[in-house]
Amino acid sequence: MQLSRRNTLLAGGLLLPGMASAATPSALPPQPEHSGMARARLGVTENPFGPSPAARRAIVESVAEAAYYPHSEAPLRDIIARQEGLAHDHLTLSSGSLDALTLLTVAIAQSGRVVAPAPSYDTHLIYAARQGIESDRVPLRADHHFDLDAMLAAIGPQTKLAYVCNPNNPTGLRPDPEALRAFCIAASAKVPVLVDEAYFELAPDPHRQSMASLVREGHDVIVTRTFSKVYGLAGFRIAYTLAQPERIRLLNSRITTSRNQAGLAAAAACLGDTAYLAGAIAYLKGCREQIYRICEANRLRYLPSDGTFVYIDCGMPAAALQQRLKALSVEVRLFEGEAYRNWMRVGTATPAELAYFAKVLPEALKG
Ligand SMILES: Cc1ncc(COP(=O)(O)O)c(C=O)c1O
């Protein structure tokens, strides 16, 4: 990537000794060898830039405490409370945001239904369906944005919960914040609204895009965020939820175990680390730009994304292209639904993975 990225990396202390240039893959923090995995793992949404230097140090230091059960969530909770302007009874931690999304969905929607867009992130909805809780999925509009009016109209007597993902996964699109705010206020007068902000930090002016202000104003809105994406800590399973105290108590009553010591220490060390965030965000934006250029070179339509992935119209059934890519050791992710049968989601990755994707995609498209 460009010189500016190198400067950002240097400012964030991310260039390790011996890293010649930010334009080369070796400029990234050391990458693990994924033996037995695809040559380009583009089906995932993690941030290969990895944890911040401070988070890496905190993880190493936490080994001294590894023999003991985690004893203190207080440092991380204090930082979140300060950052969000919320009292401690309005927030809690979980082992990944999926845990919070799943436990809340099952607890709140018990013997009822959930309204959610489609396609969207739905691992928690699939889990809830296994417990007998069905969802009413509202298709995206023709411009691939949420149909918030239709979602509001879909909230019926059986509905116990509404779910939105901002920005949406897999489209990477953000709704207009004022429109989402109006939806959340109207919907939360009927049922709790769960707003999944897994990619919060990637939005321009994230606090304006976030629905956390509605929690501060007392609405029945639940916001989940995670350290798994931009902060590069997916393997350490730490996330947080912001909501009214009643919802936080409900979530805490369902959580079965404590968070892990290393994840707590790492998250506290990196939350709000602006130099690191600038580097990570520049890296992810650079990856997205690279994916856009690959699409353009192959005349494929794509949606400009605020996530760690890009949703691409393959111009052919995506399942067939996925198989051809798999044979070339490239993994991509598809989402269900007839309207998006030609679309695949391609994740941000290391420069080597994206270069390999660029090389083999024309061959895969030809069939
Ligand atoms: C939109 C969205 N929400 C939540 C999650 C769950 O992330 P985690 O459990 O690691 O916080 C993901 C992960 O892919 C996601 O894409």
Nearest protein Cα to ligand 1, atom 12: 198
pLDDT tens sequence for the chain (367 residues) = 333 333 333 333 333 333 233 333 334 554 544 546 899 999 999 999 899 999 999 999 999 999 999 988 999 999 999 999 999 999 999 999 999 999 999 999 999 999 999 999 999 999 999 999 999 999 999 999 999 999 999 999 999 999 999 999 999 999 999 999 999 999 999 999 999 999 999 999 999 999 999 999 999 999 999 999 999 999 999 999 999 999 999 999 999 999 999 999 999 999 989 999 999 999 999 999 999 999 999 999 999 999 999 999 999 999 999 999 999 999 999 998 899 999 999 999 999 999 999 999 999 999 8
8 A C-beta contact, residue 144 and residue 175? no
Query: Among the atoms of ligand 1, which is closest to the Cα of residue 124?
Result: 4
Neighbour order of strands in the sheet with 91-94: 91-94, 239-242, 221-226, 193-196, 159-165, 113-118, 134-139
Q: What does the block give as tokens for 246? A: 């009643």
Nearest protein Cα to ligand 1, atom 5: 98
Please provide the DSSP assignment of 11-42 as one string.
Answer: HTT-PPTT---TTSGGGSSPPPP-TTS-SEE-
How far apart are the CA of 171 and the centre of ligand 1, in A? Answer: 14
Instruction: Please give all residues whose beta carbon lies within 6 A of any atom in ligand 1, as ranges.
Output: 45, 96-98, 121, 165, 169, 196, 198, 226, 228, 234, 239
- Residue ranges and CATH numbers for the domains of the chain are 3-52+274-366 (3.90.1150.10), 56-270 (3.40.640.10)
